[in-house]
Amino acid sequence: MKILLDTSVLVAALVDAHPAHERGKTWFKRVTSGTDKGLVAAHSLAELYAILTTLPVQPPITSSDAQQLIRQNVAEKLEIVPLSSQDYIQVIEQLSEIGIVGGATYDALILRAAANAKVDLVVTLNEKDFRRVYPSLADKVVAP
C-alpha cells in the first residue's frame, strides 16, 4: 500500500511531547518498516522544518536538530513527491473554482502530490480540511 504522510503526522511522530505522538509514530513505523511504501510531499519538508524550529517545546528544537531529524527520518526513509509549476497553477485554479482561500492552499498542494503519486491513503491530523480542499481524494484521507 502507498501511504502519504501529511506534515501534521510527521510532526506528531517525531516529537515525543506532541499529544498525537503515539498515533503518528504508529503510522510512521508502518511506512519506515517496509510494511507499506511511505511518501511525503516535497512541500511538507519545508513545512516540517518551519514547524519543528518554532514548536514551543523544551528544550527547543534547533535548526540543525530539525535538519537532521528531517534528513534521517523523512528524506532518507520516505519517497519525496515533487510538484511541477503546472501542478501549482492547476491547484490554484481548482481552489478558486470551489472558493477555498488561505492556508488550506498548502493542504491542497500536499494532496496534489498524493494524487500525482496515486497513493492508497493520505494520513493527516487535519482530515476534515483535507477532504474539503481536494474532494476527489476525500475517500483516501484518514486520521491516525
Note the pLDDT tens digit of each residue in 48-80: 999 999 999 999 999 999 999 999 999 999 999
- pLDDT by residue for the chain (144 residues), tens only, comes to 999 999 999 999 999 999 999 999 999 999 999 999 999 999 999 999 999 999 999 999 999 999 999 999 999 999 999 999 999 999 999 999 999 999 999 999 999 999 999 999 999 999 999 999 999 999 999 999
**Could you tell me the end-to-end alpha-carbon distance of the chain, in angstroms, rounded to an integer?**
16
| DSSP strand pairing (141-142 vs 2-5) | unpaired
Range of the domain at 89: 2-142
Q: Looking at residue 127, which CATH number applies to its domain?
A: 3.40.50.1010
What domain count does the chain have? 1
pLDDT for the residue numbered 125: 97
Report the C-alpha gap between 119 and 140 in whole angstroms: 8
141-142 sheet: strands from edge to edge: 79-81, 37-41, 2-5, 121-123, 141-142
